[in-house]
């Protein structure tokens, strides 16, 4: 299986929101690694200049491969609000009908992460819209069948979490019945106090089913919290059980009057466990039980 990391960042400014034409828009920025990227939205315009007023020279389908043409600032060129998202344009080259072409694509049409399964089917992740009133980000999870080219897309809402980059990987069914693959997307915090979360979408051949997620967060020298997810092929507790172990640590500094100007670091560690039962359609949280793994 191939996995690809595309780094992107959502920034909220002034102080946290962009205001444009009475609309609060979420700004999208891309930090591209070397290599290719994919188009997130069908009918995406490739323009002759980095502007919404540029001539449309092509309209490409979801999943079309784009190559970043030159090094460009992470915010792209210019600032353009379309619906509730704000992004600049990026210079790209692409192949169509056996010919290589160049142009500019708006950043909101570019995938945040994508991966392939062992059969060459493509899984894509990206943003669709943002509601500033509720701070809800709606993301798209897409699968494109390699043989039939059939595309399936589902939307999932999340509370905006200030994560700075994204990554993805396609797993097998990990021992869960009635699933073909699991598409894992990481929302990476990469800063103190910002959660890193991993979201799992099970593909059953016709639709995505959202599975339990895991998260971690920390502040150096103060606290940390982390979760470890175990699927049936990774533990001995039985078929169709998903186990999430948690570890939290809090650092407390205790001063002793009899020892002048000195303090002692006390770390309190707490462990927990959650168990979910997968029934082929959804994962249900069980009451606390003893498990072996």
- Span 102-147, pLDDT tens digits: 999 999 999 989 999 999 999 999 989 999 999 999 999 999 999 9
In a domain, 124, yes or no: yes
Distances (CA, A) of 69 to 28, 41, 95: 19, 20, 13
In a domain, 120, yes or no: yes
In a domain, 175, yes or no: no
Domain interval for residue 2: 1-163
| SS3 of 216-229 | EEEECCCEEEEEEE
pLDDT for 122 equals: 96
Whether 43 is covered by a domain: the verdict is yes
Residue 90 lies in a domain: yes
For residues 12 and 74, the model is more confident at 74
Closest CA to 123 of 136, 133, 113: 113
Q: Taking phi first (over 0 means left), then psi (-120 to 50 degrees means alpha), and beta for anything else, what does residue 292 get? A: beta
Helix, coil or strand: residue 45: strand
- Give the per-residue pLDDT at 21: 41
Q: Does residue 49 belong to any structural domain of this protein?
A: yes
Stretch 157-172: mean pLDDT, rounded? 89
- Asked if residue 115 is part of any domain, the answer here is yes
pLDDT over threshold 60, residue 7: no
Is residue 94 within 8 Å of residue 100, measured between CB atoms?
Answer: yes
Q: Are 18 and 81 in contact (CB under 8 A)?
A: yes
Residue 69 domain flag: yes
**Cβ atoms within 10 Å, residue 214:** 20
* The total number of structural domains that make up the chain: 1
The more confidently predicted of residues 36 and 61 is 61
């Amino acid at each position: 299986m191939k996995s690809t990391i595309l780094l992107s960042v959502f920034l909220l400014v002034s102080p946290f929101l962009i205001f444009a034409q009475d609309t609060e828009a979420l700004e999208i920025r891309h930090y591209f690694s070397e290599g290719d990227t994919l188009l997130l939205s069908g009918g995406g315009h490739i323009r002759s200049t980095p502007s919404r007023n540029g001539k449309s020279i092509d309209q490409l389908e979801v999943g079309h491969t784009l190559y970043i043409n030159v090094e460009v600032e992470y915010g792209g060129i210019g600032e353009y609000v379309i619906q509730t998202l704000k992004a600049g344009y990026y210079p790209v080259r692409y192949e169509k009908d056996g010919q290589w072409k160049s142009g500019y694509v708006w950043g909101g049409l570019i995938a945040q992460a994508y991966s392939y399964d062992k059969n060459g089917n493509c899984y894509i992740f990206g943003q669709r819209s943002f509601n500033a009133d509720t701070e809800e980000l709606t993301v798209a999870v897409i699968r494109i069948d390699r043989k039939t080219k059939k595309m399936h897309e589902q939307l999932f809402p999340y509370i905006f979490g200030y994560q700075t980059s994204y990554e993805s990987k396609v797993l097998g069914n990990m021992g869960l019945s009635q699933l073909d693959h699991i598409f894992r997307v990481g929302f990476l915090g990469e800063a103190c106090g910002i959660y890193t979360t991993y979201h799992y979408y099970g593909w059953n051949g016709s639709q995505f089913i959202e599975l339990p997620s895991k998260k971690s967060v920390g502040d150096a020298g103060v606290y940390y919290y982390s979760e470890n997810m175990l699927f049936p092929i990774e533990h001995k507790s039985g078929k169709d059980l998903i186990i999430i172990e948690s570890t939290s640590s809090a650092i407390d500094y205790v001063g002793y009057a009899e020892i002048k100007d000195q303090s002692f670091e006390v770390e309190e560690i707490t462990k927990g466990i959650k168990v979910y039962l997968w029934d082929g359609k959804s994962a249900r949280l069980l009451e606390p039980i003893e498990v072996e793994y």
